[in-house]
Chain A
């Protein structure tokens, strides 16, 4: 039997059982169980809109390994196939995976810009405190950590010291801490002290965003990253720097993350614009070209959306 003739009945079954959004890979015959197995996949359509040109178009998100379709030797549908419900559940997981990926791409590409936002700086005061002290006098002693500091703040500082230790920015020594290899390396590259402090924060956010979000629970940073991600996720899907109004960004935010106060959204967009994380022309927001190119590069290096193989 030719490839085309064995694919056709399987495609027909896929269409009938899963609808026209799901397609099948080339089927493989499982000799041991005497059945045809074909992996299910999808090119999930995303409708996009550029507000300036009023252009509407469709792009697709590739999804693999949504499940398997099993047919008997004589092409009868077998119940060991993945159910429609399971397929829909997997697609929902992949959309969440894509949302998380977009966020990670945005953080990786624009951490240098994000740390220039005052609210960000405020949350990383402990990191800045450690950096400034190590720049001043090479070490931070246990006594200094304890002196005139409530226990809660001592614990917080130790948490950050541990985090920086994991990044090789600080190094534990007897009776305290000193700078680590990464600290020295960055210092060699960046002579200006203010820029160096920014570079340390940027490095911490870029490399440890999952921990900052879940362990340090810096939830107040999230709206800024989410708003930025709302623009760039859409642009990454379009693979071009779209022009979006505040209203569109608001709608994207609501669809992806839920509610946001419009006054807060205006403030966040202003902050992002101020540090060049986003650009603005009249009422339209568009991506920073350099950052967006970097994001596209990261996106292209990532594997297709699929369940992890272990």
Chain B
């Protein structure tokens, strides 16, 4: 979902791995994914013309989500999805909007689609003891140089100008 968003909104040739590929790269199995393994996807994105990096963090503050949204970047968070038997599981959503004044938060949910939730309810699901306020920042930056021919070309230019 996030890679598609980057492809649509930024001028980049970012690869489009399948869900199965992503699961394999970040070592997802029946027990889930280790948070540190999420950044393994970055290696797959090295060939993109823009530098795209996924940075997983936990114990984050709401302000950090707001800052990312303010910069127009997609933000992935995990929330607790309760079941009817008192249990539940972690579930990822992509935050699209936060409105403190109206007390609502908007997100894209891979299961339920576009949703809006009361912010207090969201905060409690995000602050859940099993989730610990996980946030995956997507760093999108201009790559200073990417290929050896480009590097060589620039070097020649620099030398001739000096």
Contacts and interface: CB of A to CB of B under 8 A. Distances in A.
Interface of A: 65, 93, 96-97, 100-101, 104, 155, 158-159, 162-163, 165-167, 207-208, 210-212, 214-215, 302-303, 307-310
A310 B35 contact: yes
Contact of B78 (A97, A165, A211, A308): A308
Given A303-B130, A309-B33, A93 B104 contact: no
A149 to B, nearest CB: 15
Interface in B68-82: 78
A93 B58 contact: yes
B103 A210 contact: no
B156 interface: no
Contact of B92 (A96, A211, A215, A310): A310
A163 B118 contact: yes
Q: Give chain B's interface residue range (CB within 8 Å of chain A).
A: 20 to 34
B68 to A, nearest CB: 15
A210 B119 CA distance: 10
Contact of A310 (B62, B119, B123, B134): B134
The 3 closest A-B pairs by CB, nearest first: A166-B118, A162-B103, A211-B120
Contacts of B130: 303, 308
20 contacts: A158-B102, A159-B101, A162-B104, A163-B119, A166-B103, A166-B119, A166-B120, A167-B120, A210-B124, A211-B119, A215-B100, A302-B129, A308-B58, A308-B78, A308-B90, A308-B130, A308-B134, A309-B34, A310-B35, A310-B78
A308 B120 CA distance: 21
A155 B101 contact: yes
Nearest to A94: B59
Taking each of A93, A97, A307, A310, which has the highest tally of chain B beta carbons within 10 Å of its own beta carbon? A310
